[in-house]
Structure 1
Amino acid sequence: MTAAISPQIPTAQTLYDAIIIGSGVGGLVTATQLAAKGAKVLVLESYIIPGGSAGYFEREGYRFDVGASMIFGFGTQGTTNLLTKALEAVNVSLETIPDPVQIHYHLPNNLEVKVHRNYEKFLQELTERFPHERQGIRKFYDECWKVFNCLNQMDLLSLEEPRYLTQVFFQHPLACLGLVKYLPQNAGDIARRYISDPVLLRFIDIECYCWSVVPADLTPMINAGMVFSDRHYGGINYPKGGVGQIAQKLVEGLEKAGGEIYYRAKVANIIVENNRAVGVQLTSGKEYRAKRIISNSTRWDTFEKLLPEIPAAEKKWQQRYQKSPSFLNLHLGVKAEVLPVGTECHHILLEDWEKMGETIFVSIPTLLDPDLAPNGYHIIHTFSPSWVEDWQVSPGEYDRRKEEVAGKIIKRLEQIFPGIDAALDYMEVGTPRTHRRFLNRVDGTYGPIPRRKLKGLLGMPFNRTSVPGLYCVGDSTFPGQGLNAVAFSGFACAHRVAVDLGLTKIIRNS
């Protein structure tokens, strides 16, 4: 991996408009949008490169994505193409490669379904598997489009800003009323209105699980509508050079706009004076002050580690949400001939509906961008949910367990890629402990999931917190997990902070 080089970190004499803790995509979108409006912004990143879960690392000629390679938000039309908009705001761009199929599902009882970029082709394929549910399939996915079309008519900014809400309502009254209708609903409730086949309902569960890590009953309809429609509208588009290019380009734009980012700058605590967040202190002891502090850490890391005590509002939130599992990751380099002609980039493998927590996710980004691997080889990144508690073992046992679990996953992959074991050229195994160490996420968690069935997105907090001057951004704020979702959170946070700072021209997304 090529380490980013930070400038000499100065003594804390400058008062910034905003300090962002962490350079995940949510934090970087917040930073770039504020810098584009003239705010003096500082991003503090504990690692040596930006991106967090959207970062990368290099080994023996392979460039691996840290997280998923299935990227939304790079469309060219509408308002939901948030990554495109984030880059444009700071005058940078990124070449992307369109993916014709979002996911190739390999499911129990030999059920195989491809989610084609072409909507009608996808519906046709799914209907061929469930011909008796023809009408229900179309009605459910068409209802997802109703949600998406509401979102796609308006600039996606802060729902905490009354003037913005008033402006949007008068511009798009029907779209706003539509979103209000869907806010308290979950995808599973909508699906059961139209569909009765239990296997098809299970399919919709795995459709949700592959990005929300919970079944349809616990997945907000707003999120489902966005994902299930944008994959056909804006499509899945892979960044040339790997997912890590997104963060690299956002940093380039941030610096062009006058913002700053420091690496190897780990925040130890948030400084609170007179009950207000006013700065941060690094583990080195250096302090930096700002009018507004924005945490791109998880809410658990923010309120349990960076502040002296947990506010009552956060305790209440933790009663509704819990940490999702982390992942066991296998980063593989394999001989190209092991992949048949026509292999899709993304796959999901599940052999038993009752064991959804053992789902295997597969990304093969070199099918879209061959330059990420040596000639004649492919990258296969495969991962499955895993809890950090399962890895609290001695060093010797830890290495043995990694080898054992990796072997089991490769054996399962042989079902869809026969000969993969013999074709291995490189393997690196990452556990929840790896995520915790390098991504600075408590227990390596993917983000929050509901403890019980909640009313859609109504329980998810926005960007402001109960601590004056402190905001949160990222996957533990509205609207939740996923790269485009955290970009939404970043736009909303930048909007809210800019209004609070008096940069009123940010009322409208430009």
Structure 2
Amino acid sequence: MTPSINNVTSSLNTELDALIIGSGVGGLVTGTQLASKGAKVLVLERYLTPGGSGSSFRREGYTFDVGASMVFGLGKKGYTNLLTRALNDIGEECSTISDPVQLEYHLPDQFRLEVNYQYKDFIACLSNLFPHESKGISQFYNTCWQIFRALDAIPLLSLEDPNYLAKVFLRNPLACLTLARWLPVNVGDVARQYITDERLLKFIDMECYCWSVMPADLTPIINAGMVFSDRHAGGINYPSGGVGTIAEKLATGLQRYGGAIRYKSRVSEIIIKDEKAIGVRLSNNEEIYARVVISNATRWNTFGTLLNKSYIPKTEKTWSKRYKPSPSFVSLHLGVRAEAIPLNTHCHHLLLESWNEMEAEQGTIFVSIPTLLDPSLAPTGRHIIHAFTPSMITGWENLYSSAYFQAKKTSADRLIHRLESIFPGLNKGITNLEIGTPRSHRRFLGRQQGTYGPIPAMRLPGLLPMPLNTTEVERLYCVGDSCFPGQGLNAVAFSGFACADRVGADLNLN
């Protein structure tokens, strides 16, 4: 059961140290880290359950993941297993099922490739497809490993904490210098140093797009170093019971350390006094005060909705010019008969029929079948297929009533037809169907345009322009995918650790 509290004073009868807007994984990691340091923490969540896009929902015996089912950060070793570390720090543990194949690509011109957990097998398969590029392939992915090993050699906390930076540099100067070297670099720059085959470069684009929704030229190499290597190191590990289990366990740990979550608590305004954030006002006009306010909302929501325009710093206006909202998604949560899934099918797939459509509206399709790893998510004799494809809210914004439902049906029918190239006869095997649109994501997740995070509006120098956790509004911090290092559960967990470290230093808790 997810812990909840409707009366703050019943659990927190002293002044709050930290007030967190939103219970996404970034906000929960921040909250649990602060609570474990002794801070009085309250998380305000507009919805009924924690986790945001990292949550799950239940329908007719099925447990569906809201967002992606491909999870990094639940490995057992090193410093990059941030979800495992966050849970362990509060006495929680997540049982997982390892996935031997991260992803199966179904790409144009009969390009098929499995990304095996065993790195040597993956490199061998890719080199067999491009034998003339075998040396360049090894050099490119070895660069990613160099970055990953540097990340995995140091505890990942706040880059805004001078004491932390001094300690990690003295502890491992080579790792720090390696990361500093690659911080302003994008994947495309590195790939073209070693690879010339245009088809292979398109594959590298897709390797980036499948988790960043950006081509290689816009994807920071630091992030790629983490993803392209961790899938062969810590691996892809699915949490038993669904992705939402992670947030539920973080919420349980938060309460164990004296913190609390209030659900159905929609923040309408961040209260500013003497140019400092001092609390929030809820939609019912209740006011809650704390020493610091931490927003797990997007920066567009934080500075465009929750703050009066007179308090928006110039740095945030600059940020909004450099970054734009990534697409939202049209998503299908399908319950299907078991026989609709061919034998020896892998859990995760990516489908694209034309390279020109990779970034197009509803072009690339991402597919997960989590019941291949955890059958308990569905009734006996059934499987779950979660398919989603990028979609901008502009095409859905002005549709009402019957036109909106017809557009949903048309998109769903088109997606199912395309999926039958992987799962022949799928349409006849569907027993349950849930259709989500960018409007659904905006409504239930409270995110600007239903976006899943920022992407560059122009070519930028790697991660250098990405903001950290502090803001120019005193006592107001941000956490989540609008902060360094960006999108993904493991990335927002990093943001949560960093934010808690910075806030802990400012509140003399570290």
Same fold at TM > 0.5: yes
Which of residues 386, 404, 409 is equivalent to 2:410?
404
Deviations along 1:76-115, whole A, 9 cap, x unmatched?
A: 1110000000001100111000000111000000000110
Deviations along 1:332-375, whole A, 9 cap, x unmatched?
A: 01111111111000000001101112100000000000000011
Matched, 1:218 2:218: yes
How many pairs are equivalent? Answer: 503
SS state of the match for residue 453, structure 1? coil
Query: What displacement does 1:14 show?
Result: 4.2
In structure 1, what residue type is equivalent to 2:408? K
Long gaps (5+) in structure 1: 505-510
Matched, 1:493 2:499: yes
Change (3 A) 1:189 1:450: same
Identity of aligned residues (%): 58
SS state of the match for residue 122, structure 1? helix
Query: What displacement does 1:128 show?
Result: 1.1
Aligned to 2:436: 430
Query: What displacement does 1:5 show?
Result: 4.8
Change (3 A) 1:427 1:3: farther
Change (3 A) 1:492 1:165: same
Query: What displacement does 1:8 show?
Result: 2.9
Query: What displacement does 1:262 show?
Result: 0.6
Query: What displacement does 1:7 show?
Result: 3.2
Which of residues 407, 414, 427 is equivalent to 1:421?
427
Aligned to 1:346: 348
| Equivalences for residues 168-179 of structure 1 within 5 A | 168-179=168-179
Contact 1:70–1:346 (Cα < 8 Å) also in 2: yes
Change (3 A) 1:33 1:374: same
Deviations along 1:155-176, whole A, 9 cap, x unmatched?
A: 0000001111011101100000
Mapped to 2, the partners of 1:314 and 1:10 lie a distance apart of 35
Mapped to 2, the partners of 1:439 and 1:226 lie a distance apart of 27
Q: Which contiguous aligned blocks of 4+ residues in structure 1 show a shift greater than 4 angstroms?
A: 2-5, 9-14
Aligned to 1:30: 30
Aligned to 1:182: 182
Query: What displacement does 1:311 show?
Result: 1.7
In structure 2, what residue type is equivalent to 1:477? C
Query: What displacement does 1:6 show?
Result: 3.2
In structure 2, what residue type is equivalent to 1:319? K
| Equivalences for residues 63-462 of structure 1 within 5 A | 63-309=63-309, 310-357=312-359, 358-392=363-397, 393-462=399-468
Deviations along 1:276-334, whole A, 9 cap, x unmatched?
A: 00111111111111111100000000001110012211001011101111000000011
SS state of the match for residue 332, structure 2? strand
Mapped to 1, the partners of 2:198 and 2:4 lie a distance apart of 54
In structure 2, what residue type is equivalent to 1:290? A
Query: What displacement does 1:69 show?
Result: 0.2
Contact 1:44–1:261 (Cα < 8 Å) also in 2: yes
What value does the CA root-mean-square deviation take over the aligned residues? 1.2
Query: What displacement does 1:415 show?
Result: 0.5
SS state of the match for residue 231, structure 2? helix
Contact 1:15–1:288 (Cα < 8 Å) also in 2: no
Mapped to 2, the partners of 1:55 and 1:418 lie a distance apart of 30
Query: What displacement does 1:13 show?
Result: 7.4
In structure 1, what residue type is equivalent to 2:473? V
Mapped to 2, the partners of 1:226 and 1:420 lie a distance apart of 35
Mapped to 1, the partners of 2:476 and 2:484 lie a distance apart of 16
Change (3 A) 1:388 1:4: farther
Which of residues 459, 478, 481 is equivalent to 1:475?
481
Mapped to 1, the partners of 2:175 and 2:14 lie a distance apart of 43
Q: TM-score, normalised by structure 1?
A: 0.97
Q: TM-score, normalised by structure 2?
A: 0.97
